[in-house]
Chains A and B, each alone.
Chain A
Amino acid sequence: MDKFALNQFLTLLKREVLEHRNLFVLAPAFLALLLLFAAFWISKQFPRDQLASGVAYLAMLFDGLSPVDMAPVFMIGAIPFVFLLYTCAFVYLMNSLYQDRRDLSVLFWQSMPVSNLKTVLSKVVTIAAVAPFFYIAVLFGVYLIAMIWLTLLGIQFDIEIVGIGYMFLAAVVSLVFVYLSAIVTALWLFPSVGWLLLFSAFAKRTPFMWAAGVFILVGFLEDFLFGSQYLANWVESRANPNQYVIFSFGDLVDRLFNYDMLFGIFVGAILIAGAVLMRRFTD
């Protein structure tokens, strides 16, 4: 890829972030504020001596333990953010190409030297790598504030917080795992990403109804035409989070390079190719 094409693609990614900053920046920031206020309020409900012993316990808990081994503990804290990311990703994928046609900005973008393929790929990369990055950045901020707060409590109660360095390292490693999990999840759910983009590019109105309705219809049609249920089996066989969540660096290669993952990417590519071709119908 030459430098011009790379800059062009980066500009497309920047456009996606600017147009959807509510989903990618403000939503996780709002959730982080909400969780921090909730944690602060809960801590105020405890008596002073119980809070002090809690801080002492937390400070000792991670002392001397491997941050990589303890990282999954902090991944629990990322669960609300991951759910929010999936929700925002769904809304984004369902509306992105549809909104372009609705406000007729598709005509402007098609008059620019940017191919439909690059436009659609920029949306895929946005959801797979760029959006999770903002969520991870916000989560990093939350963990940093929590560590500073813990340190201040330690000073206030005159407790030696010996394990806080290990705790912070475990939190940072957990963020790496969450980011890698988000990327692997996007690849694992590539057929779903392609399906949503296809109907976002296709529907003249209510893209969600089209996407959901045709999904159910195609399942019935397969049963009717071929007497089989491979579509439903395929969806069911890919619905287990253990297939794409990463808890250690060793998991990464296993999750990325297996038959189901590569076949899913192939099927997703068919649907995304359909979405690219569908972009030519702007009426």
Chain B
Amino acid sequence: MKNIFLKNRYTLLLTVLAVYVLVLVIEGAITGREAKVVKFDNPFFDLNLNNFEEFMDNRD
């Protein structure tokens, strides 16, 4: 198995990327990870870009 992974640079890259993707997908599925960057918490107003329609309705 080790010989296959370390056969050449391409097989090694594919192995590393496969491990990377699997770890992130499994972790994401277990923790239910969602993007946080679009949520702004501030004392002045509530803005959640995940729910932009509701924000526009509230504005009206």
Known: A222-B21, A230-B28, A267-B24. A274 touches B13 (CB 8 A): yes
Known: A236-B38, A239-B37, A278-B9. A230 touches B16 (CB 8 A): no
Known: A267-B24, A270-B23. A236 touches B37 (CB 8 A): yes
B56, CB-defined interface residue at 8 Å: no
Known: A271-B20, A278-B13, A281-B12. A226 touches B37 (CB 8 A): no
Complex contact A230–B9 (CB within 8 A): no
Complex contacts, B21 vs chain A, CB 8 Å: 218, 221-222, 231
B4, CB-defined interface residue at 8 Å: no
B54, CB-defined interface residue at 8 Å: no
Contact of B16 among A198, A266, A280 (CB under 8 A): A198
Q: Which residue of B lies closest to A283 (CB)?
A: B9
Known: A237-B34, A240-B36, A240-B37. A267 touches B9 (CB 8 A): no
Interface of chain B: mostly helix, strand, loop or mixed:
helix
Complex contacts, B33 vs chain A, CB 8 Å: 230, 233-234, 237
Interface size of B as a range: 20 to 34
Complex contacts, B38 vs chain A, CB 8 Å: 236
Complex Cα spacing A221 to B24, Å: 13
A263, CB-defined interface residue at 8 Å: yes
Interface string of B27-44 (1 = CB under 8 A from A): 111000111111000000
Q: Which residue of B lies closest to A280 (CB)?
A: B6
A84, CB-defined interface residue at 8 Å: no
Q: Nearest Cβ in chain A — how far from B12, in angstroms?
A: 6
Complex Cα spacing A263 to B19, Å: 14
Contact of B25 among A226, A273, A277 (CB under 8 A): A226
Complex contact B25–A270 (CB within 8 A): no
Complex Cα spacing A228 to B28, Å: 9
Complex contacts, A73 vs chain B, CB 8 Å: none
Contact of A218 among B17, B27, B28, B29 (CB under 8 A): B17
Show 11 residue pairs from A and B whose CB-CB distance is below 8 angstroms, ordered by the A residue: A228-B29, A230-B33, A231-B28, A233-B33, A234-B24, A234-B27, A237-B36, A240-B36, A263-B27, A267-B20, A274-B16
Listed from nearest, the 4 A-B pairs whose CB atoms lie closest are A230-B28, A274-B16, A236-B35, A281-B9
* Chain B interfacial positions (CB closer than 8 Å to A): 6, 8-9, 12-13, 15-17, 19-21, 23-25, 27-29, 33-38
